[in-house]
Amino acid sequence: MADRRAQTKRKPAAPRKAPGGRRAPAAQRATAAGRTRSTAADLAKQQRDISVSEFFAKNRHLLGFDNPSKALLTTVKEGVDNSLDACEEAGILPTVRVEIHQVSETRFRVAIEDNGPGIVRKQVPKIFGSLLYGSKFHRLRQSRGQQGIGISAAGMYGLLTTGRPVLITTRTGRTSEAHQLELVIDTRKNEPKVKRDEVVPWDREHGTRVEIELEGAYRGGQHSVDAYIRQISLANPHAEITYVPPRAEEHGASHVFPRVTDAIPPETAEIKPHPYGVELGVLMQMFRDTRARNLKSCLSGDFSRISPRTAGAICGAARVAPTRRPSEISREEAEQIHQAIRKAKIMAPPTDCIAPIGEALIEAALRAEVKADFYAAVTRRATVYRGNPFLVEAGLAYGGDLPGEEPITVYRYANRVPLQYQQGGCAITRAVTGTDWKSYQLQQPRGALPIGPALLMVHIASVWVPFTSESKEAIAHYPEIIKEIRLGLQECGRRVATHIRRRRRDADEAKKRAYIERYIPQVAIGLQKILELSDGERDQVVANLADVLARSRKM
Amino acid sequence: MADRRAQTKRKPAAPRKAPGGRRAPAAQRATAAGRTRSTAADLAKQQRDISVSEFFAKNRHLLGFDNPSKALLTTVKEGVDNSLDACEEAGILPTVRVEIHQVSETRFRVAIEDNGPGIVRKQVPKIFGSLLYGSKFHRLRQSRGQQGIGISAAGMYGLLTTGRPVLITTRTGRTSEAHQLELVIDTRKNEPKVKRDEVVPWDREHGTRVEIELEGAYRGGQHSVDAYIRQISLANPHAEITYVPPRAEEHGASHVFPRVTDAIPPETAEIKPHPYGVELGVLMQMFRDTRARNLKSCLSGDFSRISPRTAGAICGAARVAPTRRPSEISREEAEQIHQAIRKAKIMAPPTDCIAPIGEALIEAALRAEVKADFYAAVTRRATVYRGNPFLVEAGLAYGGDLPGEEPITVYRYANRVPLQYQQGGCAITRAVTGTDWKSYQLQQPRGALPIGPALLMVHIASVWVPFTSESKEAIAHYPEIIKEIRLGLQECGRRVATHIRRRRRDADEAKKRAYIERYIPQVAIGLQKILELSDGERDQVVANLADVLARSRKM
């Protein structure tokens, strides 16, 4: 990614001497005739630190701001993610309002308002005005945001493209005042600058409203804000979301996506790192930082699922005294302990740190989304990748209004957030295309999505979702994750296959039956002629035969 | 990406009071029965800064360290990129040595050594022991590295997985001593820690050797280190690269890829930002930072391609006095100036900041790489995306030893660095599949790579390559870039099409000819019978007819 040695340098008029008038060093004399280029001394001159905001301002595509329409979507996403997270952590049923006002042809003002717990005044500047600041990064717990970048990156993009500051209004409760701040991020220092700061009247008892003005574009289609809002409400049935699109007169006034349930997702616990996922370097770091007085209590105290007994066993296997002071453990000893941990039998991490949507709610959400003949939902048991607990859910709607002759639609979710870009690069897509749908009665071109009237919804919940990029568009191809998804899909597949087969059998049956029915009268007439039956007897025969046919079908 | 408000908190035994014994704020009372969750006050407690190295240590997949084999490749790449950049900037013909020693089943020690200008002692720690430190980020100039992350990230990965420090040996010239340092990165602070620092004897007059030990895996195939070394030498014909693979006895001792040319790529100039690419926010920043005393001189001095006359015109159109002190320009004025710039006629940026490989060398490199019937190479004129000059080159080898019935092989390069991953997500692939190869006599399944005996090489050179991820695997889909690539491909396509057509015509011709030839004797015998010719005359006729056929063919 970077060469830190190379340096720029204006070509001097005449070949220059090395500093201090000493003979120019070999590097320089070695240059091709007529050219004088940089020496190590020159190279040393212009080195400097790069602030993380300068970095992301230049590499905005890493954060999902590669083009105007995506920038608008990303801004909305970041705001809504924050609102939902904040509400849930405070145990509040989320009521979120998303407004998009079109200021000019290419300029929009996005406002996201929630009924969350609000933000303490002194935290506001850093939260919205500096990158890599937050609380979720240093813990293992399921949440939508994980990095401490999102909303301030959106604010930075707004500032870059429109020069406008971010406007925040927040209040933490009836007993406290509502604060309103205007602030910008100083990209050189990655620090906030407060432009305006005042107490304002606000009818909300508690909550936060963020307004960002940015260069953007409002589009339809699978990547649109509208699609996002629909998908996020699908995966968050406990949230009420009001959406005011731009040019309301054109796109219709505000849409309200009501709550499907009043149950807040169960509170997820924070967990300690699981020993299997810890790398040697990290382990050494933990030994340096731990508060534990000896190795044994460090192992049993700082990790999940290590009992004092297991800790003792590990020390034994590693041939390091349980009483050793962690900070004094050498690299070699740490390596022995690391290997002993790998060999030790340790329970999988606790999974109460993960909150699935649940089969019932997924099915309900799907029913609300599309009219289909058949619905299936599966919530798998939680398992582990690289020491991180995760869980897969899959929902499938089949038939009904769904278009039959196209590849199925796939909605991808991570921690209840829809993933709208990079479908091709996502572990979920890999698992879907890698599943043999033919055996589940769906057509499937080799290595592609199955064809048929189906909508598939896949959700991954984890304390740490391994996204392939900072813009959170696709999930990295961890084999453990792909396997779990596939198992979930196969379960859905088996169920829909049974449904499809039954439907086909019924159809065939019906056809046969109609066929036979057509001939019953002829048969009866034949019998009448041969046996000289009366019309009554003939009709009786028809009735009997029809009856037999009906009974044969019941069997 | 992140919610900065949400906070973790142990569940207290009994419902707790808000700080200061005041009534719990509304947020808290609103929680579902029996649950006590975080209030704004709780939320404020655990906020903290995240260091950029903590961030990338956790998100290592963003830097190309997602799995052991990729980690090994990335480490080699970063080292070689740095070496080549350093040599070129110092005007030295690069001689680079890459060694991979297998320490254990899963552990490798990578060493990259160059004859570059070396590194001044006091710069070594920051260069190898902190992320986002370098010289290339803040300039517009073509180079392999651009971010200031690469090599120190590799060192960090090594530390995380093996606990081993990075070992650097460097010397800046005959007159100075060689320094050897062992250092690690303190991820908490993103700062280097020097473990060992001494002067050592080194037979090299100037250069740098870096050694990193890491958990890795050595694989073959298109993603292998071997493939990378071959491709990098293909795009850097001026470099001599020696490669020592692990387990030399198995994989053969060291391979040497010799220089194809002694010409160092022309020194590329650093350029100022082009006005068309500058966003409003950036413009405002420049006004704040400029050393220029008034607006006019700022415009003409700090941008490329703005003459004093144009600057005056822009001020006029923006209705802002040319004499205004830049630091005092308001947001509104800046916006007027920004619009005036967009409307003004301004030359495309200078392109001497880009060094193409060149058609001759591309063709030579291709000839060295594969035995084919036909070679074509195209270097396009430089052009601009988002204000950044860039240039596209394409090379095509056809027929010969190349396999005929498979999709063609595509080598992708950015600033002479091969891109081995994410082929699907790359603008180059998009351009290749988006080109209509059927019209160039190649089969092509819809929307896929063409089928045929061809090797395609595409190179993008730019002062700023827009990679889709920090791991530099694919180029973002900028329309301007895709268009340029396509034009380059079409040029190659036209040439190969001519070649293929001629070859077919010749083949048909030869078939006809053989056919006619077969009958000439019969014709002659016929004539002999009719005209009672002597055997001599008959043979004469045969000769004449053959002659006619030959001449007809020449026409």
DSSP letter, residue A322 = T
CA distance B514 to B523: 15
- Is pLDDT at A433 greater than 90 in this prediction? yes
DSSP letter, residue A30 = T
The whole-number pLDDT of residue B29 equals 37
A371 contacts: CB under 8 Å, gap ≥ 6: A400, A401
The whole-number pLDDT of residue A483 equals 95
Residues of B (248-277) whose Cβ lies below 8 Å from A: 263-264, 267, 270
Per the CB < 8 Å rule, is B35 touching A91?
yes
CA distance B448 to B430: 9
Neighbours of A63 (CB within 10 A): 25
Task: Tell me which residue has tokens 């899963």.
Answer: B106
CA distance B107 to B93: 32
Q: What is the percentage of chain B residues whose pLDDT exceeds 90?
A: 52
Q: What is the count of residue pairs from A and B with beta carbons less than 8 Å apart?
A: 419
The whole-number pLDDT of residue B250 equals 66
**Closest residue in chain A to residue B159, using alpha carbons only:** A281
Per the CB < 8 Å rule, is B1 touching A145?
yes
Report the amino acid identity of residue A483. K
Per the CB < 8 Å rule, is A40 touching B206?
yes
The whole-number pLDDT of residue A493 equals 95
Q: b or e along B531-547 (b: 16 or more beta carbons within 10 Å of the residue's beta carbon)? A: eebeeeebeebbeebbe
Per the CB < 8 Å rule, is B132 touching A52?
yes
**Worst-scoring range by mean pLDDT, A17-26, A163-172, A316-325?**
A17-26
Q: Return mean pLDDT, chain B.
A: 86
CA distance A161 to B25: 38
Closest CA to A214 of A160, A272, A289: A160
**Closest residue in chain B to residue A41, using alpha carbons only:** B120
- Is pLDDT at A467 greater than 90 in this prediction? no
The whole-number pLDDT of residue A24 equals 37
Per the CB < 8 Å rule, is A89 touching B335?
no
- Shortest distance between the Cα of B478 and any Cα of chain A, in A, equals 9
CA angle B504/B505/B510 to nearest 5° reads: 100
Asked if B211 contacts B109 with a C-beta cutoff of 8 angstroms, the reply is: yes
- The 10s digit of each residue's pLDDT in B183-241 is 999 988 899 999 999 999 999 999 999 999 999 999 888 789 999 998 999 899 999 99
Tell me the mean pLDDT in the region B339-359.
Answer: 87
Tell me the mean pLDDT in the region A262-278.
Answer: 84
Which residues, listed in sequence order, are joined to residue B102 by a DSSP beta bridge? B108
The whole-number pLDDT of residue A8 equals 37
Tell me the mean pLDDT in the region A450-454.
Answer: 94
- The 10s digit of each residue's pLDDT in B214-230 is 999 998 887 899 999 98
CA distance A98 to A244: 6
Q: Return mean pLDDT, chain A.
A: 86
The SS3 assignment for B406 reads coil
CA distance B297 to B315: 11
CA torsion angle B316 B321 B326 B330 (round to 10): -90
Instruction: Write out B437-461 in H/E/C secondary structure.
Output: HHHHCCECCCCCCCECCEEEEEEEE
Strands B417-419 and A388-398: unpaired
Q: What is the percentage of chain A residues whose pLDDT exceeds 90?
A: 52
- Shortest distance between the Cα of B41 and any Cα of chain A, in A, equals 6
Closest CA to B124 of B71, B173, B181, B81: B181
Tell me the mean pLDDT in the region A351-370.
Answer: 87
**Worst-scoring range by mean pLDDT, B3-12, B86-95, B477-486?**
B3-12
- Is pLDDT at A555 greater than 70 in this prediction? no
Which pLDDT band, with edges at 50, 70 and 90, does A279 fall under? confident
The whole-number pLDDT of residue B412 equals 95
- The 10s digit of each residue's pLDDT in B363-418 is 988 898 889 999 999 999 888 887 788 999 999 999 999 998 889 999 999 999 99
Which pLDDT band, with edges at 50, 70 and 90, does B168 fall under? very high
Which pLDDT band, with edges at 50, 70 and 90, does B553 fall under? low
Higher pLDDT, B474 or B550: B474
Write down the ipTM of this complex: 0.74
- Is pLDDT at B153 greater than 70 in this prediction? yes
- Shortest distance between the Cα of A46 and any Cα of chain B, in A, equals 6
Residues in chain B with CB shorter than 8 Å from the CB of A40 are: 90, 117-120, 172-173, 206
CA distance B177 to B175: 7
What string of DSSP letters covers A239-294?
Answer: -EEEEE-STHHHH-S-EEE--S--PPPPPPPPBPPPGGG--HHHHHHHHHH---SS
What string of DSSP letters covers A531-550?
Answer: HT--HHHHHHHHHHHHHHHH
- Is pLDDT at B251 greater than 80 in this prediction? no
**Worst-scoring range by mean pLDDT, A196-210, A541-555, B32-46, B335-349?**
B32-46
DSSP letter, residue B528 = H
Higher pLDDT, B157 or A265: B157
Helix (H) or strand (E) holding B313: helix B308-318
Asked if B117 contacts B206 with a C-beta cutoff of 8 angstroms, the reply is: yes
- The 10s digit of each residue's pLDDT in B527-544 is 888 888 888 888 888 888
Which pLDDT band, with edges at 50, 70 and 90, does A53 fall under? confident
Which tokens go with A535? Answer: 């019309």
Sign of the alpha-carbon dihedral angle for B214, B217, B223, B224 = positive
Task: Tell me which residue has tokens 């730019």.
Answer: B462
CA distance B255 to A546: 86
Per the CB < 8 Å rule, is A135 touching B7?
yes
- The 10s digit of each residue's pLDDT in B64-78 is 887 899 999 999 999
Q: Nearest CB to A90: which of B38, B62, B263?
A: B38
Residues in chain A with CB shorter than 8 Å from the CB of B212 are: none
Q: Nearest CB to A26: which of B119, B143, B174?
A: B174
Closest CA to B102 of B216, B243, B256, B238: B216
The count of C-alpha atoms lying within 13 angstroms of the C-alpha of B547, restricted to the half-sphere facing its C-beta, is: 6
B19 contacts: CB under 8 Å, gap ≥ 6: B41
Which tokens go with A64? Answer: 């999902």
The whole-number pLDDT of residue A552 equals 66
Q: Is A412 on the interface with B (CB under 8 A)?
A: no
Tell me the mean pLDDT in the region A477-489.
Answer: 93
Higher pLDDT, A398 or A551: A398
- The 10s digit of each residue's pLDDT in A286-301 is 999 899 999 999 999 9
**Closest residue in chain B to residue A160, using alpha carbons only:** B281
Helix, strand, coil percent values for chain A (each to nearest 5): 40, 20, 40
Which pLDDT band, with edges at 50, 70 and 90, does A497 fall under? very high
Which residues, listed in sequence order, are joined to residue A210 by a DSSP beta bridge? A112, A168
Residues in chain A with CB shorter than 8 Å from the CB of B282 are: 160
CA distance B5 to A544: 76
CA distance B389 to B140: 9
Q: Nearest CB to B147: which of A55, A263, A282?
A: A55
DSSP letter, residue B265 = P
Strands A454-462 and A409-414: parallel
The whole-number pLDDT of residue A549 equals 75
Which tokens go with B128? Answer: 């190898």
Residues in chain B with CB shorter than 8 Å from the CB of A164 are: 331
What string of DSSP letters covers A399-443?
Answer: STTS-SSSBPEEEEEETTEEE-S-GGG-HHHHHHHHS-GGGGT-B
Strands B95-104 and A454-462: unpaired
Sort A371 into a burial class: Cβ within 10 Å, 0-12 / 13-18 / 19+: exposed
